[in-house]
Amino acid sequence: MLKILGILDVSAAILLAGIALNIEAPHELLIFITAYLFIKALIFILDIGSALDAFSGLMFLLSFFTVVPPFILYTASALLAVKGLMSISA
């Protein structure tokens, strides 16, 4: 189960980096990833990684309505990718 969550985190990180590069993605996929990150943040609320999930979900949500500076998206993407890779390797 942990490896599946890690793969989804890495996928979300790639998608977040794609948003920073102005690459179009299907809105359904963006909504799914946003919901996934928020739900996972609520389930594991006592874990410090859930704050990163909530922040990344917020970046996805804000990217729907406004232009988020790319360095913020890259930072969130890198942190989420590292978290995902650590989950995969565990």
**9-63: per-residue pLDDT in tens?**
999 999 999 999 989 888 899 899 999 999 999 988 888 888 888 999 999 899 8
Domain holding 25, by residue range, is 2-89
Question: The whole model's pTM is what?
Answer: 0.89
Q: Which amino acid is at 62?
A: L
What's the structural domain count of the chain? 1
Give DSSP secondary structure letters for the chain.
Answer: -HHHHHHHHHHHHHHHHHHHTT----HHHHHHHHHHHHHHHHHTTTSTHHHHHHHHHHHHHHHHHS---HHHHHHHHHHHHHHHHHHHH-
**Residue count of the chain:** 90
